[in-house]
Amino acid sequence: MTGYGSSVVCEPRSIPCSLLPVCRIRRWRHRKMNPMRKDAKRRNVTDYIAVPPKEVQAKLRQNRAAIKEVAPNATEFISYGMPAYKYDQTFIGFAAMKNHIGLYPFTGSFVAAHQKELGGYSTTKSAIHLPLDKPLPVSLIKKIVKLRIKGTKSESTGPA
């Protein structure tokens, strides 16, 4: 069977499969590789942004620029398979999804405390979903980053 090669991954081994007949005998499940999965090892934010489609890449670059504008000296790294930023503590992260860009404040209380400002966006307990079919709310992203930096500084200093 040709055409599978590196686009299919064996479930128990999680590596590109070139032994499809052997895998079928052993009844291993195959899944098509999703480029946004953690399987696609990304060492830095530039590598992460290079994976999704061009339209999404532009929004990810815009998101990254907004965060870097507010926090120019923050350390940029990959955490939980997505770009994240920290000073003493991680204060924000983002990830490309199928229909949105997830903005992760890395605290469970942030989204609940700021529900009024986030009213126009879908949220979960720990994430803000920015839809891909609408313009990226750069001013909101900057405001969230500023609040998270302020919040992590107060968390690290503790109660006075």
pLDDT per 10-residue tile (average), the chain, 160 residues = 44 54 51 51 87 94 97 94 93 95 92 91 94 95 95 70
CA–CA separation, 108 vs 125, rounded Å?
A: 6
Residues 14 and 65 grouped into a single domain: no
Looking at residue 22, its pLDDT comes to 53
Q: Which amino acid is at 136?
A: L
Looking at residue 108, its pLDDT comes to 82
Give per-residue pLDDT as tens, 58-102. 999 999 999 999 999 999 999 988 999 999 899 999 999 999 999
Q: How many CB atoms lie within 10 A of CB 4?
A: 16
Residues 74 and 95 grouped into a single domain: yes
Q: With residue 48 as reference, give the H or E element that holds it.
A: helix 45-49
The pTM is what?
0.73
Q: Under a CB-based contact definition with an 8 Å cutoff, are residues 159 and 87 in contact?
A: no
Query: Domain containing 152 — which CATH number?
Result: 3.90.1150.200
* Count of domains forming the chain: 2
In a domain? residue 40: no
Segments forming the whole domain that contains residue 127: 45-157
